[in-house]
Amino acid sequence: MKLIPQSAVPSPMFVFLDFEASSLSKLSYPIEVAGVFEDGTSESHLIRPAQQWTDWDAEAEAVHHISQEMLETDGVPHDVVARRMVEHLSGHTLFASAPSWDGKWMSALLRAAKLPRHALRVRDTEEARAEAARRILAPVVSPERLHIEIDDLLTLVDVRREEGEPAHRALADARDEHRHWLDVVSAAEAVAERAARS
């Protein structure tokens, strides 16, 4: 577990989160979490389950390759991870590629640690990409054309990206979402530069 000193992370930033979980059932719980800040700083934890968390799916384990034994030997207690996340992520804007699932596991983690379940909220990473494009393009694109330019740019970036299978490990998948956001930022900056020259 690599910890980032709080003073090393300026606020506020976008943070791209990903969870791995025991299963996709209603009783599932988080077993790994990672966050990548927009500046590339990252943190990842295997989560030792709370005592009441007993759900486990062997098929899910075959996908993420995290065993219950790994969680017991290498995992950080769930309440320590939850407190670390609240301390480290509060004030930042959190995004995940599957916010309904990731939000569910975030909530389960916080509740099990007896923290307010809405202490941290997760938005869809598509919103992060659209916001980045809007921030960069708004000064150089007319308001009437802005939404069209943003849609075109996001589509172009999606087409250009080599879509592979998710790694199904929290840090690798969070880094991929961060790279996707950076691709949008770069593409929007190139469009803005061309518009400024014309």
* Alpha-carbon distance values, 176 to 38, 59, 167 (Å): 12, 23, 9
Amino acid at 188: A
Compute how many other C-beta atoms are within 10 angstroms of the C-beta atom of residue 194: 10
In a 3-state reduction of DSSP, which class is residue 138? coil
The pLDDT > 90 percentage for the chain reads 85
Predicted confidence band of residue 144 (pLDDT cuts 50, 70, 90):
very high
Q: What is the pTM of this model?
A: 0.91
Q: Before 12, cis peptide (omega within 30)?
A: yes
Q: CA-to-CA distance for 37 and 14, rounded, in angstroms?
A: 6
User: Comparing 84 with 1, which gets the higher pLDDT?
Assistant: 84
Phi and psi, residue 9, nearest 5°: -110, 105
What is the pLDDT at residue 128? 97
